[in-house]
Amino acid sequence: MQQSRREFMVGAAGLTVAVVAGSAFARNEEPSKKLKILFLGGTGFLGPHTVEILKEHGHEITLFNRGNRDELFPDLEFIQGNRIVDVDPGLEPLRAEVEKGRKWDAVIDTASVHRWVENSARLLKDAASQYVFISSVSAYASTPPDGNRETDPVATMPDEEADKIDRLPYDMNYYGAVKARSEAAAEKYFPGKAAVLRPGLIVGPRDYSHRFTYWPWRVREGGEVLAPNSPTDPIMFVDVRDVAAFLVRTIEQRTMGLFNVSGPTTHDMTIGKLLDACKQTTFSKANFTWVDADFLENHDIHGWVQMPVWLPPTGETEGFHKTHLDRAIAAGLTTRPVTETIRDTLAWFDKWRNEAKDTRGYEYKPGENAPGVSSEQEAKVLAEWKSREG
């Protein structure tokens, strides 16, 4: 039995109100100038890539976060605080800067809790010219067979449940609704001055979820690779550096609006093309055995988790990998070749895995502590599949 869309979205969020009325976006094509940027966070997955681009472009960056990873950017202005209201010192250090008259050209917010966005946007509504919020395609209430557009309805939740959520973790059944409420908070305090990005699956260097990494790693290992359903099944994902570049562009071009952000922008990626690209990039001699989706499901191998990136192109997940990107493309979204993402992800992953093994004794084990299937499970399912065909 296939997972329901809600079950899938909960799993997707655990591994990780339309905001703008009227026109899709507004742009100022004037050349970029040095801007003052306040980043709420900035040290996770998307954050460091974005900060690096902002630095390359010569912008002035202030980071506000808990300081858990302050070694990343010791050269930047840093304000230490915590957006959980009852954790000292909370937002007070940032409030002190606002009361001094500090101003920023843009705020970047990647929060996963709507109350954090509400409090931050309220505090900064007169101290910044633009609020950029990183949401998710999970914010949609459902996914039509032909994919989501920015005008589609968003997920909702009871007020009494929303009032209970002020920190992580929380019930991930409400992840999409929390993101939607966060979007609404950004627009509430920055009417006409908010840019909301709804990424799909973000992949690439620094992706500690390893959702995408499984395929480059597994194909490089060689041998017979268990592959899901059909090589023509569509998939979508976007390199984190392409999201970061688009995010920076929305600030530099003063782009406002709501945008789906995924890739490739050519809408021609399939699971077969991804695995072939992994084989080409890693010079692997792997061969792929494509196993029917129902057969996988009956053997407790599900899309997204045991078969990362891929989802059955049927039922409630039929349109998940068909997200419409027209608005973002018109606003300047571009995506790099998949071979570049594969190469750079593996380079980062190999270095990180060796360091993790040396410092923490961590062993990468797909199907146990990471997405994918174990070698034992893979061999068993392949043998049963061949027996069934025979």
* 258/239 Cα distance (integer angstroms): 19
Q: What is the pLDDT of residue 354?
A: 95
Instruction: Using pLDDT thresholds of 50, 70 and 90, give the confidence band for residue 388.
Output: confident
The answer to whether 203 touches 239, Cβ cutoff 8 Å, is: yes
Distance (Å, rounded) from C-alpha 279 to C-alpha 33?
43
Domain count, the chain: 1
Separation in Å, CA 296 to CA 27, 272, 377: 47, 17, 11
pLDDT per residue as tens digits for the range 242-255 = 999 999 999 999 99
Does residue 288 surpass a pLDDT of 70?
yes
Report the distance separating Cα 162 and Cα 350, nearest Å.
40
Percent of the chain with pLDDT over 70: 91
| Region label for 90, one of left (φ > 0), alpha (ψ between -120 and 50) or beta (otherwise) | left
Asked if pLDDT for residue 15 goes beyond 50, the answer is no
> How far apart are alpha carbons 43 and 263 in whole angstroms?
24
d(CA 115, CA 163): 8
Tell whether the model's pLDDT for residue 334 goes beyond 90. yes
Please give the single-letter amino acid code of residue 157: M
Residues 6+ apart with CB under 8 A from 210: 308, 349, 364, 366, 370, 371, 372
Give the rounded distance of the alpha carbon of 18 from its chain centre.
19
> What pLDDT does 165 receive?
96
List Cβ neighbours of 273 (8 Å cut-off, separation of 6 or more): 231, 338
Neighbouring-strand partners of residue 234: 270
What CATH number should be reported for the domain holding residue 238?
3.40.50.720
- How high is the pLDDT of residue 1? 40
Range 120-125 average pLDDT: 98
Two tokens, residue 97: 């800067």
Q: How high is the pLDDT of residue 62?
A: 98
Q: What is the pTM of this model?
A: 0.92
If you average pLDDT over residues 54-59, what whole number do you get? 97
The letter for the amino acid at 83 is R
pLDDT value at residue 390: 59
d(CA 200, CA 140): 11
Parent domain of 297: 5-389
Per-residue model confidence (pLDDT) at position 86: 85
Interhelix angle 214-221/271-282, rounded to 10 degrees, is 50
**Across the chain, which distance is largest between two alpha carbons, in Å?**
76
For 191-206, what is each residue's pLDDT tens digit? 999 999 999 999 999 9
**What is the pairing mode between strands 194-199 and 25-26?**
unpaired
Handedness of CA 102, 103, 109, 112 (dihedral sign): positive
